[in-house]
A and B are shown apart, each in its own frame.
Chain A
Amino acid sequence: MSDRLYKIQLPVYLTALFIILSVVEHFFPMPGVVTNFNVTMRSFVTVVSAAAFMLGIIFLTISHAKTITEQKSGWYYNLFYIAALLITIAFGLMGVRNESFLFIYDNMTAPIGAALYSLTAFYITSAAFRVFRARNWNAAILLVCGFIVLTMLIPIGAILLPPVVPIGEWLRSFPSSAGFRGMIMGTSLGVMGLAVRVLTGRQKDHLGIREERMGGE
């Protein structure tokens, strides 16, 4: 069989088959064997992801090891990566409930993740100062609505200004939900369009395949 069949056509056919099976299972009552097959295929996603993760670790380690052996600038950071990786793997292999492994997770991984995520709090504050300026009518409406909803959400807000509660609830339940639903509809239709393109083999980017298309700039 040709290289193209293996690398392009077969993955496209398999993708189309799994899309059809998932759609059919959602709308029509199917025998247990089809449902079980779909469940097994979905669990393959986890298996394939884990395999890809292993590959990533191997290549990243090779890249870091190369930097260390060539003594490039900042090589000690690469050494730190390899040491952290080996120590974590060693404790992880003893069991995910191992105390030392849990110590690393609870006291290093989780706080680092939380610290990175918490950056959002600082930036959202300065963003609020930037955005909430009544430069024009649109910005003024945003400012007033933002003030009402924020005041409603803070614990003391409802006590200081009781009318903000019904107005804020109305803003969230009607104009805000209506806008969001419109956006969700547009996005969902876009995903349906993508599914059709993938199903018909017109879009292969998810397989890492880019083919020259008609037109273009």
Chain B
Amino acid sequence: MSIVIAGRTLGLLALVVIVGSILYYMQQAYSGKIPNLRRLQAVDAIEEIMGRCVEMGRPAWYLMDNTNMTSPSVLAPTVAAFQILAYTARMAARLGATFFVPVTQGLAYSIANDIVEEAYKAEGKPEDFDPLGTVMYLPDGADRMYIINNLWSQKVAGVFFLGSWYHKAVIFTEAAASVGALTLGGTDTTHNIPFLVAICDYSIIGEELYALGAYVSQDPTQTSSLAGQDIGKYIALILILVGSILATVGFDISGMFAW
């Protein structure tokens, strides 16, 4: 009997290398060597959107769609969206923008509420935080009508669509675009990235969401984990290049990885 289940050795090797890289960079970060992250255009877009809202005297909204944190595929973008929320809420508090965060999941609601409240306190404006109105729980399903209706009635000037987005991406982004709101969209759900990219004024694609979260939070754990993930990307790039060349010259490698 083999030690590893047949056909999974390469996957195990890749896992060991990538996890090892992430752990290595995390260790480096805790000893003071934090990797540099490129400044994304979205960081400036956050400031621009918030500034526009203040100038026009209209609210800024921060929407996250699916925040069910028990699902691993939703947890990663939700955590990134929370980090960006902390940055955005501080900017809203600093500039004096009216900020609104509707959340459709209980655990995420309590975390978002803490984040926004802390942000207002950190900017020395705790009185601007409305415990009943700044972050609001909306039952999933009822949120569609509430959000569409209020986007129109409040003439929202800026909307952030960040996190794990599903079919509501089209509904809300289009509604926001119709009222003339400046929008920033970003998700890692591949089938909804096109909608956010096409409709939003500014967009971040896939894992840029994690990078933006790490950049604005300046959290060494997140930053170092991104550096480790980059090693995985380099490996994937090399394998794609080698595979493409071998496939082009007619060399069949499909049977080589059955171990």
Residues of A with Cβ closer than 8 Å to B? 23, 26-29, 45, 49, 52, 56, 112-113, 116-117, 119-120, 123-124, 126-127, 130-131, 142, 180, 183-187, 189-197, 200, 202-203, 205-206, 208, 210, 213-217
Q: How far is the CB of B116 from chain A (nearest CB, A)?
A: 12
A185 to B2, CA, bound (A): 29
CA distance A117 to B195 in the complex (A): 16
- Identify whether the interface residues of A are mostly helix, strand, loop, or mixed: helix
Known: A117-B167, A197-B221, A216-B218. A29 touches B5 (CB 8 A): yes
- Min CB distance A192 to B, Å, is 6
User: For A180, what are the chain B residues with a Cβ–Cβ distance below 8 Å?
Assistant: 190
The total number of A-B Cβ pairs within 8 Å is: 153
Of the four ranges (under 10, 10 to 19, 20 to 34, 35 or more), the interface on chain B belongs to 35 or more
B112: min CB distance to chain A, Å? 10
Interface residue B246 (Cβ < 8 Å from any Cβ of A)? no
Query: Quick one: CB contact mask for B1-43 with A, threshold 8 Å, 1 for yes?
Result: 1111100100110010011001100100000000000000000
CB within 8 Å for A187 and B167 given contacts A56-B106, A113-B141, A196-B19: no
Question: Which of B47-55, B199-207, B249-257 lies at the binding interface?
Answer: B199-207
CB distance B193 to A183 under 8 Å? yes
Per-residue contact bits, chain B 206-235, to A (CB 8 Å; 1 contact, 0 not) = 110010000011111110011011001100
Contact check, B111 vs A205: say whether CB atoms are below 8 A apart: yes
Contact call A194/B218, Cβ cutoff below 8 A: no
Assembly CA distance A199 to B23 (angstroms): 11
Q: How far is the CA of A8 from the CA of B48 in the complex (A)?
A: 39
B76 at the interface (CB under 8 A from A): yes
Known contacts: A130-B174, A185-B236. The answer to whether A196 contacts B219 by CB under 8 A is no
13 additional A-B residue pairs with CB within 8 Å, beyond A187-B207, A215-B217: A27-B4, A29-B2, A45-B70, A112-B141, A117-B167, A187-B206, A194-B76, A196-B23, A206-B69, A208-B110, A213-B220, A214-B219, A215-B219
Nearest opposing residue in chain A for B9, CB measure: A27
- Residues of A within 8 Å of B90, CB to CB, are 217
In the complex the two chains form, what is the Cα distance from A28 to B190 in whole Å?
31
B171/A123 in contact, CB under 8 A = yes
